[in-house]
Amino acid sequence: MLKKLLIIAALSMGLTTQAQTRSDSESALRKLNIAEVAVKNLYVEEVDEQKLVEDAIRGMLEKLDPHSSYTTPKETKAMTEPLNGSFEGIGVQFNMVDDTLIVIQPVINGPSEKVGIIAGDRIVMVNDTAIAGVKMTKEEIMRRLRGPKGTIADLRVVRSGIKDLLTFKVKRDKIPVHSIDATYMLRPGIGYIRIGNFSATTYDEFMESMSKLKQQGMRDLVLDLQENGGGYLQAAADLAGEFLNTGDLIVYTEGRRVPRREYRAPANGSFRDGKVVVLVDQYTASAAEIVTGAIQDQDRGMVVGRRTYGKGLVQRPIDLPDGSMIRLTIAHYYTPSGRCIQKPYEKGNKKSYDQDIINRLNRGELTNADSIHFADSLKFETLKKQRTVYGGGGIMPDYFISLDTTKYTKYHRELAAKSIIIQQNLRYVDQNRKKLQKTYSDFASFKANYEVPQSFIDMIVKEGEKQNIKPKDEAEMEKTLPYLRLQLKALVARDLWDMSEYFSVINEDSETVKKALELLSE
Mean pLDDT per 10-residue section of the chain, whose length is 522 residues: 46 52 73 86 88 88 92 85 78 82 84 87 89 82 88 90 87 89 97 96 97 98 96 96 98 94 96 97 96 98 96 93 93 95 89 89 88 84 95 92 89 90 89 93 96 96 94 93 96 94 96 97 87
Identify the active-site residue in 238, 297, 356, 495.
Answer: 297
Distance CA 170, CA 319 (A): 34
**87 exposure class (CB count in 10 Å sphere: 0-12, 13-18, 19+):** middle
Distance CA 102, CA 132 (A): 10
* Active-site annotation holds for 297: yes
Burial 457-476 (b: 16+ CB within 10 A, else e): bebbbebbeeeebebeeeee
Work out the widest C-alpha separation in the chain, in whole angstroms: 104
Q: Judge whether 261 and 253 are in contact, CB under 8 Å.
A: yes
In this prediction, residue 275 carries a pLDDT of: 98
**3-state DSSP call for residue 40?**
helix
Q: Which element (helix H / strand E) includes 474? A: helix 474-496
Query: What is the per-residue pLDDT for 11?
Result: 44
pTM of the model: 0.86
Query: 169 forms bridges with which residues in the sheet?
Result: 154
**Pair 40, 49: CB distance under 8 Å:** yes
The three-point CA angle 75-358-517 to 5° equals 95
* Cα angle: 285, vertex 291, 292; to 5 degrees: 75
From 105, 117, 251, select the one nearest 178 (Cα to Cα): 105
Which residues contact residue 418 at a Cβ distance below 8 angstroms, ignoring those fewer than 6 apart? 464, 467, 469
Provide the pLDDT for residue 162.
83
User: How far is Cα 77 from Cα 325, in angstroms, rounded to an integer?
Assistant: 10
Instruction: Exactly one of 65, 311, 498, 500 is catalytic; name it.
Output: 311
Q: How far apart are the C-alpha atoms of 112 and 172, rounded to whole Å?
A: 9
Sequence-distant (≥ 6) Cβ neighbours of residue 373 within 8 angstroms: none
Nearest alpha carbon to residue 295 among 200, 221, 234, 369: 221
CA atoms within 13 A on the CB side of 522: 9
Spatial distance between the Cα atoms of 10 and 477, rounded to a whole number of angstroms: 80
| 279 within 8 A of 512, measured Cβ to Cβ | yes
Tell me the residue type at 137.
Answer: T
Q: Identity (one letter) of the amino acid at 234?
A: Q
- CB atoms closer than 10 angstroms to residue 280: 31
**CA gap 79, 128 in Å, rounded:** 30
> 319 an active-site residue?
no
- By the 10 Å C-beta count (0-12 exposed, 13-18 middle, 19+ buried), 321 is classed as exposed
What is the model's pLDDT at position 18? 56
How many residues make up the chain in this entry?
522
Catalytic residue among 286, 324, 337, 504: 286
SS3 211: helix
pLDDT at residue 264 in the model = 98
Residue 22: its pLDDT value, please?
63
Phi–psi pair at 402, nearest 5 degrees = -65, 140
